[in-house]
Amino acid sequence: MDLDPITAASFAIIDREIGSHPWGWTEAEYSIIRRVIHATADFEFKYLLRFSPGAIWAGIRALRNQVPLVTDVGLVAQGVKNHLALRLPNALVNALDLAPLERGVETRSALGMAQALGQYPGAMVVIGNAPTALAKLCELYPTLPNPPALVIAAPVGFVNVLEAKAQLAEVPIPQIAVQGRKGGSPAAAAITNALIDLATLEPPHQVTGSAD
């Protein structure tokens, strides 16, 4: 993968400060963690990323099979749009665009996610802002005939964030999640863009250590 000089220099600084991989990461996991640190300038993310077994390969397969990517908000979609367009033909959908203009009891993020899960079965879901969108996904999971291929969960904040992430941890679905209150659109987009890079490596067997 060719990097622009500033990104390459930034990655080199991150590599130097991280040192050898003392945390037992695979190469694929580290490529995602490094990208999140690069996007956020926050080394604490090295402690916060959680990968369910097989999650990275699930994401790679989904991207190579051209499943749609569903984001919770436009900021996440904007963070992925250009990187995706240069590499893969997958559709990119902002769930909030599917929500009714007026909310009822539930937030528009939750309503939009419910619509997206119905319209785009088996999609890769990327959540970088709204915990209510993640909670709605977890609520609907038992009813979905074709659940998401992968959930990237990085909602951020103080209200309902820990609860939504705890809900997701109980759902038997491939997932890459940011633990704790941190997250955000840049982190969610960075995880997705790192997966796009892994999915477009040639030959595919260069993706090592990601099938655990």
3-class DSSP state of 175: strand
Residue 38 falls in the annotated catalytic set: yes
**Which entry of 21, 38, 83, 205 is annotated as an active-site residue?**
38
Q: How far apart are CA 165 and CA 170, in angstroms?
A: 9
Q: How far apart are CA 130 and CA 154, in angstroms?
A: 9
- Contact present, 189 and 79 (Cβ < 8 Å): yes
Q: Give exposure, 44-68, as e/b (b: 16+ Cβ within 10 Å).
A: ebbebbebbeebbbbbbebbeeebb
Q: How far apart are CA 191 and CA 62, in angstroms?
A: 14
- Which two structure tokens, joined as six digits, stand for 74? 């436009």
Alpha helices in 120-160, H assignment, sequence order = 131-140
Which of the residues are catalytic?
38
